Amino acid sequence: MSTFLVVGLGNIGEEYAHTRHNIGFDIADQLVKKHGGSYSADRLADTAYIKLKNKQLLCIKPTTYMNLSGKAVKYWLDKEKIDKENCLVLVDELALPLDRMRLRGNGSDGGHNGLKSIQETLQSTDYPRLRFGIGNNYPKGRQVDYVLGRWTGQEWPLVLYKIEKSVELVETFVMSGLSVAMNQYNNVIYQL
């Protein structure tokens, strides 16, 4: 049975819950919930195992904080002997508007500290990642406040819809592969 590693990026702690920067945690949580799994505290991450037909998914939410996410990713890839191609990182993306998301098989960290940590630890940019557009609607110099801020009431319904679509994307990635999932989800404008 092939195993996949699904990595939701975020920061631990109540003050970060459901912020823009923690969207990776929220997608992973929804995926695990949909498939009847539950998390347990483990080495460097909260972990949950779920099954999707004949595939096993290990979903992790690193407990290392965003800037050290790579430690958790490398540990679980090595421990479970999972290929990088079967690892999908879920991450927030300032450079994409809220109505977009983009799946890629590789690429730069784009200035994202979580991706930077993974790239440094794995010594590679070749691992799939889903960038969840959070937009960049903030005044000059307020990027950190925006990223670590909570969604507005106006944004929230679209965010919930996109979380559902992100879960479907993960399932498509696992069952049908990267290119099928990219073709199906990358060029969509998500709206209610």
Distance CA 77, CA 118 (A): 11
Q: How much is the average pLDDT of 67-79?
A: 98
Burial classification of residue 52, based on how many CB atoms lie within 10 Å of its CB (0-12 exposed, 13-18 middle, 19 or more buried): middle
User: What is the tens place of the pLDDT at every residue in 111-165?
Assistant: 999 999 999 999 999 999 999 999 999 999 999 999 999 999 999 999 999 999 9
Q: What pLDDT does 1 receive?
A: 74
Backbone phi, then psi, for 175, in 5-degree steps? -85, -35
What mean pLDDT value characterizes the chain?
Answer: 97
User: What is the tens place of the pLDDT at every residue in 32-52?
Assistant: 999 999 999 999 999 999 999
Q: What pLDDT does 97 receive?
A: 97
21 is catalytic: yes
**Which of the residues 18, 21, 35, 112 is marked catalytic?**
21
DSSP 124-181: -S-S-EEEEE------TT-HHHHHTSBPPTTTHHHHHHHHHHHHHHHHHHHHH-HHHH
Q: What pLDDT does 5 receive?
A: 98
Q: What pLDDT does 185 receive?
A: 98
Q: How much is the average pLDDT of 21-38?
A: 98
Q: What is the pTM of this model?
A: 0.97
CATH number of the domain at 3-185, out of 2.60.120.920, 1.10.357.10, 3.40.50.1470, 3.40.50.720? 3.40.50.1470
Q: Is the pLDDT of residue 93 over 80?
A: yes
Q: Is the pLDDT of residue 167 over 90?
A: yes
